[in-house]
Chains A and B, each alone.
Chain A
Amino acid sequence: MRRRWVLIVSLSLLLAVVICGVLAPYLAPHDPNIVDLTHKLEGPSLTYPLGTDQLGRCLFSRLLYGTRVSLSLALVIVVACLIVGIVIGCLSGYAGGWIDNLIMRANDAILAFPSLILAIALIAIWGAGWKQMAIALVIVQAAYYVRFVRGLVISLKQQSYITAARVSGTNAYRMMIRHIIPNMLPPLLVVVTLEIGWVIMDISALSFVGLGVQAPTAEWGAMINEGKSFIRSHPRLMIAPGILIFIMVALLNLISDAVTEKKGLGSPLRRKREAAE
């Protein structure tokens, strides 16, 4: 029961953050990129709820717009990883044999590097920028998805309904669409929630070191980077986006945990069988 509440509360908080991001143009009191040097480094006030940064930009507005950038970028990266992971993972797991071996060894080669280091190396080749960062993150992250999906496919392949479908003449493509992918989604969604959190951290980390989202675009990691020169005099410039990153990642972890524990709910059949045994 307690888990249920954790899930409800964290989901609603997450939803609130997402809505804030989506409605940023309406909620933000100021344009996030308007520089006003007469108001630089001001403390919180009625006009500037969280104060202003070193260029006199409204911190609150920048946070709201930053939510948009961070969340949508994370979502795009995770969805791209998911597509790559499902396609290649299904191919590898279902085909087996030398195809599986080839894909898995290539995958191992990517997994052998620490993911962030590899992403930095790729961005170093292509140059800094959010597009390059997104592609680099997809390449390094998708390897994990491929491996995970392959494992799920191999375990699903043992189920007798897959054998029964094969005997019924179902071809490989229909097998994926009708049987394997739908039954793979619940465990995959748990991982995806967790992964969004990690990707948000990665985006922030890369933007912090200046490889990802570039100034003046508001993004949490980039904001921490810009604020770091004022850590002694005006720590709130770093603390505010830092807290937001922390909250988002914590929420996504809590949700993922709660869903994992309730996963039995995904399949009424499994619950019924457990009750019968």
Chain B
Amino acid sequence: MSLLVADNISKTYGSAGWFRKSTSEGTGVRNLSFSLEEGTCLGILGESGAGKSTLGRIVLGLLPPDSGTITFEGIDLYRSDRKARKQWRRDIQVVFQDSYSAVNPRMRILDIIAEPLRNYERLTSLEERRKVAELLVLVGLTADDMHKRPGQMSGGQLQRVNIARAIALKPKLIVLDEPVSSLDMIIQKQILIHLRELKEKYGISYLFISHDIMAVHYLADRIAYIDQGSITDVRTTLELSNTASLKQP
């Protein structure tokens, strides 16, 4: 069974009100279907405005689609009961593009990474610190960094903090929404290497949303090309390297 299955999902943005006509323009997604196997990475490649981030929000359970279903381990995300929702909410995590705005500027790194732990587990403060220290080391930072505040860190370091927060609960799926796009090349590479290691070590699946074909190619097992809200082509990364002929509009 696939970990995540999207079946014919559509979401269009538009506004209808008392004084406005209903419009259905703007970027959304149209009749998207794909599946993601456990322990693999599906790359979603597309230009800006192609509907990539909309897709990410739908997968995270934050934006109900207009039609179609999205199932995670056989549970429909938008028709699940409270108990099931609590479970999948824990199993799907996210890393955003802008590492600065993805952390609360007033919180210490310790509190940022410990937030998901505090929401789901009852740890003593000593256990919590130990766990956060472990996570920090795992993403290539040091345990002392937990006392810093976001203002004292660089964009790349903060992205590592975001990754540490995402993996804190050992999720099954992480949505990576342009995780390296705002970083410089060398840091990008380091982060990608870390992400690949984590995937192999813990068997985490990724939905890797990006416009950067090199980054997607490095991390993804399969790549779906999305254009104007629809998937136009799906290839395995191997095929792609052999033919290098991803269909372009």
Contact = CB atoms under 8 A, between A and B. Distances in A.
Interface in B96-112: 96, 98, 100-107
Contacts of A166: 62
Nearest to A268: B151
B106 A169 contact: no
B181 to A, nearest CB: 13
Contacts of A164: 94, 96, 102-103, 162, 165
Contacts of B106: 182-183, 267
Count class of interface residues, chain B: 20 to 34
A178 B86 CA distance: 20
Contacts, number: 69
A183 B149 contact: no
B120 interface: yes
Interface residues of A, number: 24
A178 B120 contact: no
Given A164-B162, A168-B119, A174-B119, A272 B102 contact: no
A179 interface: yes
B104 A179 contact: yes
B79 interface: no
B115 interface: yes
Interface in A220-277: 267-273
A178 B119 contact: no
B53 to A, nearest CB: 11
* Prevailing SS type, chain A contact patch: helix
Contacts of B150: 269
B62 A268 contact: no
Interface string A151-169: 0000000011101111111
Contacts of B115: 165, 168, 170, 178
Contacts of A179: 104
B116 interface: yes
Given A163-B94, A169-B90, A182-B104, 5 more contacts: A165-B115, A167-B89, A169-B86, A271-B151, A272-B151
Interface of B: 60, 62, 86, 89-90, 92-94, 96, 98, 100-107, 115-116, 119-120, 149-152, 162, 165, 169
28 contacts: A160-B96, A160-B98, A160-B101, A161-B101, A161-B103, A163-B60, A163-B96, A164-B94, A164-B96, A164-B162, A164-B165, A165-B115, A168-B93, A168-B115, A168-B165, A169-B119, A178-B115, A183-B104, A183-B105, A183-B106, A267-B105, A267-B106, A267-B151, A268-B105, A268-B151, A271-B151, A272-B151, A273-B100
Please give me the 10 A-B residue pairs with the lowest Cβ-Cβ distance, nearest first. Answer: A268-B151, A168-B116, A269-B105, A169-B119, A269-B151, A160-B102, A160-B96, A167-B94, A161-B104, A160-B101
